[in-house]
Amino acid sequence: MRTQEWPKGSLEQVVQDLVKSWEMELSHKTRAHHFKTIHPENFRFSVNGGQWMNAEETLKVGSYNVLLRTSLKGEHEAYKAIEETFETSHDVFKSTFPGGFAWEVLEVYSGPPTVAFKWRHWGMMEGPFKGHAPTNDVVESIGTCIAKVDESLRITDLEVYYDPTQFLGQLMKGAKSPQYVYKPGTIGCPFNKTDHSV
Residue in 9, 5, 12, 7 with CA at minimum distance from that of residue 115: 12
Q: In what order do the strands lie in the sheet with 44-47?
A: 53-54, 44-47, 155-162, 138-149, 114-124, 102-110
Q: pLDDT digit string (tens) for 91-101? A: 999 999 999 99
Backbone angles phi, psi at 97, to 5 degrees: -120, 70
**Residues 62, 90 contacting (CB under 8 angstroms):** yes
CA–CA gap between residue 27 and residue 23 (Å, rounded): 6
Q: What is the pLDDT of residue 195?
A: 38
User: What's the DSSP call for residue 132?
Assistant: B
Please tell me the distance from the alpha carbon of residue 35 to that of residue 175, in angstroms, as a whole number. Answer: 40
Provide, rounded to the nearest whole percent, the portion of the chain with pLDDT above 90.
65
Task: Evaluate if residue 44 carries a pLDDT over 80.
Answer: yes
pLDDT of residue 182: 79
Alpha-carbon span 94 to 126, nearest angstrom: 10
Helices assigned H by DSSP within the chain: 11-28, 55-61, 63-68, 86-96, 164-171
Domain positions in the chain = 11-171
Give the per-residue pLDDT at 191: 45
**What would be the CATH architecture of the domain defined by 11-171?**
Roll (3.10)
pTM of the model: 0.86
Cα(155)–Cα(114) distance, rounded to whole angstroms? 10
